[in-house]
Structure 1
Amino acid sequence: MRRAASALLAAAVVGVALVGCAGEQVAGGGPTASGAGSADVALLPTGAVPDYQLGGAYEPADGVGIVGRDRSAEPADGVYSICYVNGFQTQPGELDDWADDLLLQDDGEPVFDPDWPDEALLDTSTAERRDRIAAMVGPWIDGCAESGFDAVEFDNLDSYTRSDDALTLDDNLALATLLVERAHASGLAAGQKNAAEDAAALRDRAGFDFAVVEECAAYEECGAYTAVYDDQVIDIEYTDELPRPFAEMCADPDSPVSMVLRDRDLQPADADGHVFETCR
């Protein structure tokens, strides 16, 4: 959740990333994309109702066709399932799993995300470090595929913007390319998480297939994603940051066709404060 929340198949990336191309229909309702030498990946079922369950897994409501869950959870049965992976920062409670030199340092101390102070930025500044980060994240991606997910989303692609210029977009794009290649090799579509200003570069240079975004309607940036990914965009809006009624956002032609309103903490359905509202 983000809002202030090994190179295997390089030749295949661009071919897999053509989200607008025609392909076979799969059981979940989405087309497939493929590139030379790559496994087919199933793209998002166009216009399906999404749910975002990073705060805890629960049975999707009737009519839901896409569900996002953390990599530690099992995929939802019978729907297109997206696996969340924090690819550019450490997950809470997992700092000690990382070698010190893979954490971005400032005066000998790890640099933490100011909005998520239990997440340290990974150091993507050299090819050697990027290869080692990819070697850590790669088994998580493989695990998503083995569990039965259809796709994986990579969070914190924009970590370079919080690095005080120690990291660059090119650094993160180089790592993203490795992660997308690993996803495609595992048969998973690869999703960009947020980072509106980098959408075109992330699709064209790293090979992403779709985008999972937060509050693009509230921040009036949905067009930055749909211009790149067309209908391969899922948007999650939050109840505490609505500048206008959700129904108006749903009716806005600039909004993605797959959009959901959730509580900020993404509480499970039986928890206090749970909110789940769709555009239909």
Structure 2
Amino acid sequence: MRRTASVLVAVAALGVALVGCAGGQDAAGETAATASGEIDLLPVGAVPDYQLGGAYEPADDVGVVGRDRTAEPAEGVYSICYVNGFQTQPGELDTWPDDLLLQHDGEPVFDPDWPDEALLDTSTSERRESIADVIGPWIDGCAESGFDAVEFDNLDSYTRSDDALTLDDNLALATLLVERAHESGLAAGQKNAAEDAEALHDRAGFDFAVVEECAAYEECTAYTAVYGDQVIDIEYTDQLPRAFADMCENAESPASMVLRDRDLLPAGVDGHVFETCR
């Protein structure tokens, strides 16, 4: 798992949230049939922007924008709603019942890299159903706001559980979340977890992948072999082993790539970086 440090920055506090619920269905190039009806897939090869650190007006050539579930979708583009599906969001620990948090010696188990995120306990069907009952309204809210898709983060939380959780546990919860997304008319995106891409696609039903630094870590084919052109990659300026232009020219890189600053700062803020392959 490699994520940015600012997914919990409140858009309202930054004062740059865009108002409106237009979504981006006009920008979507293809549709796919699900058990609940048709969903819009990613517009193939579209320029992406990743705005979890605060919403701002996308550049004219951008066709896909990812924002946190607390933000409004960007107007006129394909919009993806970020949901932390397998760990608590920073500042939201108290909103979760203790019995839905993974426990060790009576204390919640936290992500070692994100010590303000506790792992959700996906080990039983009853707990998974209860977790889905909490997250389900968030998914519905993404659809009601006008997003076209939802991405679920921390699918690999089981790798940080000291064997208390398994891939099968998380796949079972992921299946519930994907089904809820499809029922709401949203495409469902896998976030990172390259080693589990095939299982997440084939068994849980994910439609696309949002990945971080797959070019830097030379793992893009783990996603494109499964999702084809339904992959968006975000690279970060602080960890580039080679020039971003070289990554863009690499045949193994997804067609939709963007270079961002690690904190995903809004445009106009010192340190903001937004660079595309075009």
**Shared fold (TM-score, shorter chain, > 0.5):** yes
Within the alignment, does 1:213 sit opposite 2:211 as a pair? Answer: yes
Secondary structure (helix, strand or coil) at the match of 1:119 reads: strand
Q: Distance in 2 between matches of 1:263 and 1:278?
A: 12
User: CA deviation digits over 1:185-233, x for unaligned, max 9?
Assistant: 0000000000000000000000000000000000000000000000000
Deviation per CA, 1:111-146, whole angstroms, max 9, x where unpaired?
000111110000000000000000000000000000
Equivalent of 1:177 in 170, 175, 178: 175
Question: Deviation per CA, 1:128-165, whole angstroms, max 9, x where unpaired?
Answer: 00000000000000000000000000000000000000
- Which amino acid is 1:264 matched to? R
Unaligned runs of 5+ residues in structure 2 are 5-24
Measured after TM superposition, the shift of residue 35 of structure 1 is 2.8
Which letter maps to 1:39? G
SS in 1 for 2:198: helix
- 2:159 pairs with one of 161, 169, 193: 161
Q: What is the aligned residue count?
A: 258
Structure-1 residue corresponding to 2:63: 65
| 1:227 counterpart = 2:242 | no
The 1:4/1:234 distance shift into structure 2, 3 A limit, reads closer
1:91 deviates by 0.3
Give distance in 2, aligned partners of 1:35 and 1:107. Answer: 42
For residue 81 of structure 2, the aligned residue among 83, 93, 97 is 83
**Which whole-Å CA distance do the structure 2 matches of 1:179 and 1:104 have between them?**
19
CA distance in structure 1 between the partners assigned to 2:26 and 2:260 by the alignment: 27
Aligned residue identity for 1:85: V
> For the residues of structure 2 that align with 1:253 and 1:103, how far apart are their CA atoms?
42
Superposition deviation, residue 52 in structure 1:
0.1
Give the 3-state SS of the residue equivalent to 1:187 in structure 2: coil
Distance across 2 between alignment mates of 1:145 and 1:242: 35
Q: Is the 8 A contact 1:31 1:42 kept in 2?
A: yes
Q: Deviations over 1:5-27 (max 9, x none)?
A: 4xxxxxxxxxxxxxxxxxxxx62
Structure 1 segments, 4+ long, off by >3 Å, are none
Query: Could you tell me whether the CA contact under 8 Å between 1:75 and 1:81 is conserved in 2?
Result: yes
Q: For residue 27 of structure 1, what is the amino acid of its counterpart?
A: D
Structure 1 partner of 2:146: 148
Q: Using the alignment, how far apart are the partners of 2:115 and 2:37 within structure 1? A: 38
Letter in 2 for 1:183: A
**More strand per residue:** 2
1:120 is aligned to 2:100: no
Counterpart-to-counterpart distance in 1, 2:91 and 2:48:
28
**TM-score, normalised via structure 2 length:** 0.92
Aligned-pair CA distance for 1:30: 1.9
Name the % identity.
83
Measured on the aligned residues, the alpha-carbon RMSD in Å equals 0.9
Q: Alpha-carbon deviation of 1:39?
A: 2.3
Task: Measure the CA separation in 1 of the matches of 2:34 and 2:116.
Answer: 38
- Equivalent of residue 90 in structure 2, options 78, 92, 102: 92
Contact map agreement 1:4 1:115 (CA 8 A) in 2: no
Q: Distance in 2 between matches of 1:259 and 1:94?
A: 31
Structure 2: distance between partners of 1:201 and 1:29: 25
Q: CA deviation at 1:4?
A: 6.9
